[in-house]
Structure 1
């Protein structure tokens, strides 16, 4: 039976993550999101997802050093960031730099691909702002180094922890569009760089990874209007979607939204922004319930992603790239799982055109 959009079709067996949309539960390699978010480092999440997929895995305490060395290695590619690439925008620039990395299936290749968006995005943003890129510090934790490369000076431990919570929260999420794209490419034995490039291409779309930026636009517009419910009702009357609400899988609240809301609450200086976000969220849920009573449209990950990453200083047009920083770990784990235990992915289509 053919299903448009592949809804309900099982396309892969995986040990990596389980998304229970009915219960609002996310499990990553046997551990719930509540166990991981705010309690696990990027390095630990990488070790967890990569477990069993590489022969040369380092011991537990060595992951930080290996990922730090990978950031140092990919920084050489930043020299290719010229004015033309900067004009193209953050995701296009990051994707072009990732394409300069060699394909491969080993751990060193995988770690360079985890490091790539974490190094390339801060470098791009600094160059666009007229500042010199900041070289990585291999001795730092991954999230802390990202913040340092972005700002040119160390971030507070609270800010680094908030970014780390975000990166771990989004590291994997079942067979979403970008992960499926990465698995399709991996099934051809093309290599990990090719798989990550496929993931980046899919993530660019506004129906997948491109939604957090418009959430900020919505919050800013509502702030100027001063009446959240009136603004939201007018948007629905125009046929617009309320960005940050509704999810293809979840029929209840997205558990990642709560993890990111907790991380945002640790950034005390942004309490005013959090209060506004909570007010808009409450108004949006009420409006959606009134206007679409037959559908469960709850808060999704993009809503508090936008507020959190804005508070950390990432521009609105760069948020999809920050998403890629976290999700690249999942893409790589899925790519290795597909390449080592799966078959070439080759679904069929049903022809509905004119007969000959």
Structure 2
């Protein structure tokens, strides 16, 4: 029996949710190119597309926004649980624990429902903001009904009205990270619900998987690079020295995309619209241009381009978001993809039951 470690190259499911083509640098949600979606649609509209299979009309969009706003408030038992967690517990573990407790509040029995997906997605930003401000010794900022998903998230974190350019950049990033095929956390969610377990259990499995640094790791290396370049004031000098010393240039290259990362292109397009709005956006644009030029000379033929984490780091710097919020924010957006896959799994379910090959001793 041939073993494919990590199930690499094994097709385990058919999906209509998204398509990732690393060879040509393509990401599609429900038939739409990702750059078309980030250019023309909001977070809520693209979430609707992934959950329902089509883009909403104005009335459907209004209904979704109303339902998401109605589900932002944390239930008392969830607040009590978060309050009891030790201050040393990382945010991803807090999210996992808080979401797990949600299973006792609503009827989440098999089969999963879109209303459950909407509720779970709506709760995560509030969980993050509540815990972040709690750890910092600041009062919790209640969600606002007049703000959409991304803007409200920034408002709850900071306690002040978010800058429009920051909202637009964060919303674009969140749309780009809603979904990305059969990655480790999505597979984890589908495996769990394939046993006819509930949506909360599937999402909890996915959060636990996302927590691992090989999957949901923060772009701290990119932020360090941008900080160093800002301090030195010479991007080419910093980049050239790192490459000549054999260091990896963080934010360049991707294990899936063999050409330009379509998510990075979409983020860059958005930031080009915001040139002059924030110094970190401007610096990122400058660094990318210089880095690709230097890489083409020092590492010819490698086709190393910026990945989504490069521009994500610029956004996190611009909105003053600590690195410990990166993976939780990634999780807040990916909730949509996880729940869409859970719903799809339930429509034509077959339990995942791979085999293993015994290589131990025989006594």
- Fold conserved between structures, TM > 0.5: yes
CA contact (8 A) 2:154 2:167 kept: yes
Stretch of structure 1 that moved more, 187-196 or 222-231: 222-231
> How far does residue 146 in structure 1 lie from its aligned partner after superposition?
1.1
Residues 1:63 and 2:26 are matched in the alignment: no
Per the alignment, residue 77 of structure 1 pairs with 78
Q: C-alpha root-mean-square deviation of aligned residues, in Å? A: 2.7
Paired residue secondary structure (1:218): helix
**Which structure 2 residues correspond to residues 21-170 of structure 1 after superposition, within 5 A?**
21-51=22-52, 59-74=60-75, 77-82=78-83, 84-102=85-103, 103-104=108-109, 105-170=112-177
TM-score (norm 1): 0.88
- The equivalent position to 2:280 in structure 1, one of 273, 282, 289, is 273
Between the aligned partners of 1:8 and 1:291, the Cα distance in structure 2 is 32
Between the aligned partners of 1:127 and 1:269, the Cα distance in structure 2 is 34
Between the aligned partners of 1:96 and 1:221, the Cα distance in structure 2 is 36
CA separation of 1:157 and 1:221: change in aligned 2, threshold 3 A: closer
Stretch of structure 1 that moved more, 346-355 or 244-253: 346-355
Between the aligned partners of 1:266 and 1:150, the Cα distance in structure 2 is 25
Q: Tell me, which stretches of 5 or more residues in structure 2 are unaligned?
A: none
Stretch of structure 1 that moved more, 266-275 or 166-175: 266-275
Between the aligned partners of 1:203 and 1:271, the Cα distance in structure 2 is 30
> How far does residue 61 in structure 1 lie from its aligned partner after superposition?
2.7
Per the alignment, residue 329 of structure 2 pairs with 322
Q: Tell me, which stretches of 5 or more residues in structure 1 are unaligned?
A: none
**Which structure 2 residues correspond to residues 336-351 of structure 1 after superposition, within 5 A?**
336-351=343-358
CA contact (8 A) 1:215 1:303 kept: yes
Deviations 1:80-132 (A, max 9, x none): 33374432222222222112111442333222210122111122222222211
Between the aligned partners of 1:284 and 1:309, the Cα distance in structure 2 is 20
- The equivalent position to 1:299 in structure 2, one of 306, 309, 325, is 306
> How far does residue 226 in structure 1 lie from its aligned partner after superposition?
4.6
> How far does residue 287 in structure 1 lie from its aligned partner after superposition?
5.3
User: Aligned residue pairs: how many?
Assistant: 352
CA contact (8 A) 2:218 2:324 kept: no
Residues 1:214 and 2:221 are matched in the alignment: yes
Paired residue secondary structure (2:305): coil
Stretch of structure 1 that moved more, 232-241 or 254-263: 232-241
Per the alignment, residue 185 of structure 1 pairs with 192
CA contact (8 A) 1:213 1:317 kept: no
> How far does residue 59 in structure 1 lie from its aligned partner after superposition?
3.6
CA contact (8 A) 1:253 1:298 kept: yes
CA separation of 1:197 and 1:285: change in aligned 2, threshold 3 A: farther
Residues 1:7 and 2:8 are matched in the alignment: yes
Between the aligned partners of 2:359 and 2:18, the Cα distance in structure 1 is 35
> How far does residue 76 in structure 1 lie from its aligned partner after superposition?
6.4
TM-score (norm 2): 0.86
- The equivalent position to 1:195 in structure 2, one of 194, 202, 215, is 202
